[in-house]
A and B are shown apart, each in its own frame.
Chain A
């Protein structure tokens, strides 16, 4: 391997790693706040990429109908719950979240899509269409059994992954899409040429990570999420509603997922079922980081990206094997570090 190729691979690895890092952060956030190992995070990546690809073809993306449809189902559930509890409190908010906004989004999508708006508007519309699916998923699948064991929640997450993947096929079809590059800009950095596209991904990921950091450090809701992650019961006792925290975590995860999809779309062809593997690489990053630390999870994800880039150069067919085998030394190390007997509290 020459130095040039190595530089190219590093550039590739860092770009993918930055995207995996966003996913690792989302996965860790959801796990810390709700104890859900969020397998369907990958579907949001696929939805983001496919929505953007559809918009670029001046068509109405399937997510627009999906959001309206799932929103209606969620609203129906809220109505039933309200009828049972004989309460109308909160129904106005629900109607806003699950009916008014999704319907408005559908309208906007139908109106804007054929007009081929500028890229930035397309990206914003993509995120607006994907993000509401996060809290809806939480409301429909997780909230009714939010106190179940990690294991049961994992099964729910896997089932959600199946449902969303199946819906992805229905609403986007079996065909894969790759969007054109956002920019053809290139820059000479010493011996290497950095593509503007890669720089854009790195910059966007960095900005998002800094924004998240500010959100957790400075805002009341960010602190509430951190408190819930540290001690659920304690957080509830001081008046932080668990359900709202869960919803917010899923919303942020959907945002990070959809945004990762937008970023990854120009690099690789995305199919309705591509998300699973991409998200699992985020998981590997999170595990490398010990499932507790955000910076370590992000770092682990970047490591995964780099390893993947070099693995695909040396042994393209075995690239996934190599990436997932990275877990073995990590687990070995953690296993040797851990001395105490693990206690399983849930039944």
Chain B
């Protein structure tokens, strides 16, 4: 057993035995921590991992609580019917709100959810059927096989059972195909270029977090047997966010730690401060605020990263199996067939013409070099081909089909994968997980199967494929290291493996050899040659001329956005315009 496992086991034992040794006051406190943990778990996914801030989580708790309150008190339905009703309403609201705000930059979501949180708080207080500010009382306890779940000690197990299930589902989700996509969301353009519909996925994450909050609301209503608008206001939403920040935003366990710490601290401050200062000012708010500011200034990552260092896990979460069924592959086009045609491509940024009337074609099974001095428009050309920038004029065709109006996630689906000039890996994910992001489109299991662990067979094939491509790129030794810990040159190789995991017909490499040592460049050249021999086409931007001239079949040379030469390496090297572009005016 690793220290981490021992720590978790001890915690679980203490938790399970809680009702045996905890006095009533602490049972209630731990129950509250459990309810808060549920909400906070959703926020860890939403804010900590996907990078989206919501000030509306307490309002979602309120929707869940009020829905079951109205259902069970006014319509006298079973609380077990109130649960799906509450979750359905929560999901509907989250869908609408998410669709409205999630395509905009982060602060719109923050402000949008503040507004929605405040509106809903007032609505709860002012709608007749919801009991106004007095709320709804006499909510029934939970019936269970003829018995009732009613006391704090009985709810203890229900609440913490829900928390543990939520925790498990989140751990499962993060270690899966959709989970890796969620963790890639912060590099949105990279994610899109591997087929991830980032806008849709953000909404999914938002709904997931809202549902956890709604579930907490349902428990809240039947546990307290009373709802009023108070606990569903923006103030509580802010507190949930603080719990996430204190616990450690990107860590699942941080949710429970943050909820426990903040709840405990608040209770303690409310107890001790009036004794210290005598009067009944809101001193705890001041102390609380100051502590949060100091924490953010001095330990931005929260508590959990520090704890994680004390209890390092023995192995990575995602492990590639030793063998697996091969994923189906795309049919390779016949050698010599023209697969990419760029015709009169044009792109201007304001007054700067970055690509001006450039045409060239790539054939199946050849390595084509795209070279030119800095600022010639090479990376822009890549972005135009992969749909990351809209074309200003001209056409791009891939295997006869026009692709210049498609989004990048539709283009990768057709068999074009790329690497980036500025490495776009998730530094905290392992090398293997980063490469597996490339194979996103080769799997089909979504969020629900992932949380239920019904995706293991597919997951095995995807991870096996990612590992295979990494070994091919010479990174077999580094599969389970954090991508951010590799040297820059190796990170570029991870990017190549990730692109290969997408099973492309055409591979676009943006300066793959930069940062590599001589032997590594030789190995890379050998890899690219063997890919070509298997029928893959490669378009390559590179500044190392020895590397390029040795490797490519043909070259296109760009300068100031225009194509100035095209042909086999020997003829391009002799071209006076190329010499002028690189060395200045010919002597």
Q: Do the beta carbons of A338 and B104 come within 8 Å of each other?
A: yes
Residues of chain B with a CB closer than 8 A to A79's CB: none
Q: Which of B112-120, B223-231, B459-467, B519-527 contacts A (4 or more CB under 8 A)?
A: B112-120
Q: Give the Cβ gap from B428 to chain A, nearest Cβ, in Å.
A: 9
Kindly identify which residue among B105, B112, B122, B289 contacts A163, using a CB–CB cutoff of 8 Å.
B289
Contacts A151-B51, A167-B286, A327-B111 given; does A341 touch B192 at CB 8 Å: yes
Indicate if B316 sits at the interface (CB-CB under 8 A): no
Q: Interface-forming stretch among B150-158, B293-301, B364-372, B569-577?
A: B293-301
Interface contact B107-A335, CB-CB below 8 Å: no
Q: Please, which residue of chain B has its CB at the minimum distance from the CB of A162?
A: B289
Known contacts A166-B282, A347-B186: A321-B288 contact under CB 8 Å: no
Chain A residues, CB < 8 A from B115: 280, 284, 324-325, 327-328
Provide the bound-state CA to CA distance between A255 and B119, in Å: 29
Give the residue name and chain of the A residue nearest to B123 (CB): A321
A3 to B527 Cα, complex, angstroms: 80
- Residues in A with CB closer than 8 Å to B103 are 335, 338, 342
Q: Establish whether residues A166 and B123, one from each chain, have CB atoms under 8 Å apart when the complex forms.
A: no
In the complex, A320 has a CB within 8 A of chain B: yes
Check B53–A151 contact: CB distance below 8 A. yes
Residues of A within 8 A of B192 (CB): 341
Instruction: Flag if B105 contacts A342 (CB, 8 Å).
Output: yes
Taking a contact as CB atoms under 8 Å apart, the answer to whether B286 and A159 are in contact is: no
Q: Which residues of A contact B187 (CB under 8 A)?
A: 343
Q: Is the CB of A341 within 8 A of B189?
A: yes
Among A145, A277, A317, A335, max chain B CB count under 10 A is at A335
Cβ–Cβ contact B238 & A163, under 8 A: no
With A166-B282, A332-B100 given, name 20 new contacts (CB 8 A): A37-B110, A151-B47, A151-B53, A151-B110, A154-B110, A155-B245, A162-B285, A170-B282, A284-B115, A317-B122, A318-B123, A320-B122, A321-B122, A324-B119, A325-B115, A328-B100, A338-B104, A341-B188, A343-B187, A343-B189
A44 interface contact, C-beta 8 A: no
* The 4 residue pairs across chains A and B that have the minimum distance between CB atoms: A163-B289, A166-B286, A162-B289, A166-B285
Q: Is the CB of A318 within 8 A of B282?
A: no
Residue of A nearest to B110 (CB): A154
Using CB atoms, name the residue of chain B closest to A325.
Answer: B119
- Whole-angstrom CA separation of A281 from B296 in the bound complex: 27
Instruction: Verify B189–A159 contact, CB threshold 8 A.
Output: no
CB within 8 Å for A280 and B293 given contacts A37-B110, A341-B188:
no
Mark contacts of A309-338 with chain B using CB atoms, 8 A cut-off: 1 yes-contact digit, 0 otherwise. 000000001101100110110011011001
- Hey, which chain B residues are within 8 Å of A151, CB to CB? 47, 51, 53, 106, 110
Assess whether A160 is interfacial by the CB under 8 Å rule. Answer: yes
Q: Which residues of A contact B (CB under 8 A)?
A: 37, 140-141, 144-145, 148, 150-152, 154-156, 158-163, 165-167, 169-170, 277, 280, 283-284, 287, 291, 317-318, 320-321, 324-325, 327-328, 331-332, 334-335, 338, 341-344, 347
Question: How many angstroms between the C-alpha atoms of A287 and B103 in the bound complex?
Answer: 15
Residue B437 CB within 8 A of the other chain: no
B290 at interface (Cβ–Cβ under 8 A)?
Answer: yes
Is the Cβ of B119 less than 8 Å from the Cβ of A165?
no
Q: Answer whether residue B126 sits at the interface, using C-beta atoms and an 8 A cutoff.
A: yes
Query: Which residues does chain B contribute within 8 Å of A338, judged by CB atoms?
Result: 103-104
- Binary flags per residue of B404-438, CB closer than 8 Å to A gives 1, else 0: 00000000000000000000000000000000000
Q: How many Å lie between the Cα of A333 and that of B241 in the bound state?
A: 28
Nearest-CB distance from B281 to chain A (Å)? 5
Q: Which residue of A lies closest to B408 (CB)?
A: A341
Looking at the complex, which one of B119, B282, B292, B300 makes contact with A145 (CB distance below 8 Å)? B300
Query: Which applies to chain B's interface (DSSP): helix, strand, loop or mixed?
Result: helix
> Would you mind naming 8 contact pairs between A and B with Cβ atoms under 8 Å apart?
A145-B297, A151-B53, A155-B296, A160-B293, A166-B284, A317-B122, A320-B119, A338-B104
Question: Which residues of A have CB within 8 Å of B104?
Answer: 331, 334-335, 338, 342
CB atoms of B108 and A331 under 8 A apart? yes
Residue of A nearest to B238 (CB): A158
Tell whether, in the assembled complex, residue B119 and residue A321 are in contact, meaning their CB atoms are under 8 Å apart.
yes
* Interface assignment of B356: CB less than 8 Å from any CB of chain A: no
A343 vs B185: C-alpha distance when bound (angstroms) = 9
Is B480 part of the contact surface with A, judged by Cβ < 8 Å? no
Is A145 touching B108 in the complex (CB atoms < 8 A)? no
Given contacts A145-B297, A159-B292, A344-B51, contact A165 B285 (CB under 8 A): yes
Q: Which B residue's beta carbon lies closest to that of A322?
A: B119
Residue of B51, B100, B289, B296 with highest tally of chain A CB at under 10 A: B289
- What is the CB-to-nearest-CB distance from A50 to chain B, in angstroms, rounded to a whole number? 15
CA–CA, A320 and B189, complex, Å: 38
Q: Is the CB of A166 within 8 A of B296?
A: no
Measured between alpha carbons, how far is A301 from B328 in the docked complex, in Å? 57
Nearest chain B CB to A211 CB, angstrom units = 28
Q: Which residue of B lies closest to A341 (CB)?
A: B188
CB-CB < 8 A to A160: which residues of B? 289, 293
A331-B104, A334-B108, A341-B192 as given contacts; A141 in contact with B293, CB under 8 Å? yes
A344 adjacent to B106 (CB under 8 Å) = yes
A145 closest partner in B (C-beta): B297
- Rounded to whole angstroms, the CA-CA distance of A170 and B274 in the bound complex is 12
Q: Which residue of B lies closest to A151 (CB)?
A: B53
Which of chain B's residues has its CB closest to A326's CB?
A: B115
How far is B300's CA from A152's CA once the two chains are assembled, in angstroms? 8
| Chain A: CB-nearest residue to B103 | A335
How would residues 537 to 549 of chain B score, 1 for a CB under 8 Å from any chain A CB and 0 otherwise? 0000000000000
Task: Specify which chain B residues have a CB less than 8 angstroms from the CB of A332 in the assembled complex.
Answer: 100
Which of chain A's residues have a CB closer than 8 A to the CB of B297? 144-145, 156
Q: Is B286's CB under 8 angstroms from A162's CB?
A: yes
Residue of A nearest to B250 (CB): A347
Q: Judging by beta carbons under 8 Å apart, are A155 and B100 in contact? A: no
Question: Of the candidates A37, A141, A317, which one forms a contact with B107 in the assembled complex, judged by CB atoms under 8 Å apart?
Answer: A37
B198 within 8 A of A: yes
Cβ-closest chain A residue relative to B245: A155
Residues of A within 8 A of B126 (CB): 317-318, 321
Residues of B within 8 A of A341 (CB): 188-189, 192, 198-199
Question: When chains A and B are docked, how far (Å) is the Cα of A91 from the Cα of B101?
Answer: 46
Does chain A have a CB within 8 A of B283?
yes
- Of B122, B286, B293, B296, chain A has the most CB atoms within 10 Å of the CB of B293
B292 touches A155 (CB 8 A): yes
